[in-house]
Amino acid sequence: MAATPENSKKKLHRLEDQLQSVNKDINEYKKIFDEFGQEDKEIAIAGILSIQFGNTCEMLYAGMDERFKKFMPQYKEYVENFK
């Protein structure tokens, strides 16, 4: 940001917005780390309950922890479930 010329106000504004966004994400992730701790343990952020019979599969329930929605874990869950 310091190297941005004075006549590039749009670029400077965009960089400031990006910095605010990154700082917001960092603060959000710090809250999550504080809640779960730094120890090595598995955390379920998404899951699917399904029943497979023959060549069909019925998905009964799918859910995820809203705190992790930026990672879009449901997409991986769907792929793994359909395998």
Encode pLDDT of 48-70 as tens digits: 999 989 888 889 999 988 888 88
CA pair distance 39, 61, nearest whole angstrom? 30
pLDDT at 43 over 70: yes
Model confidence pLDDT, tens digit, residues 10-26: 888 888 999 999 999 89
- Whole-angstrom Cα distance, residue 67 to residue 69? 6
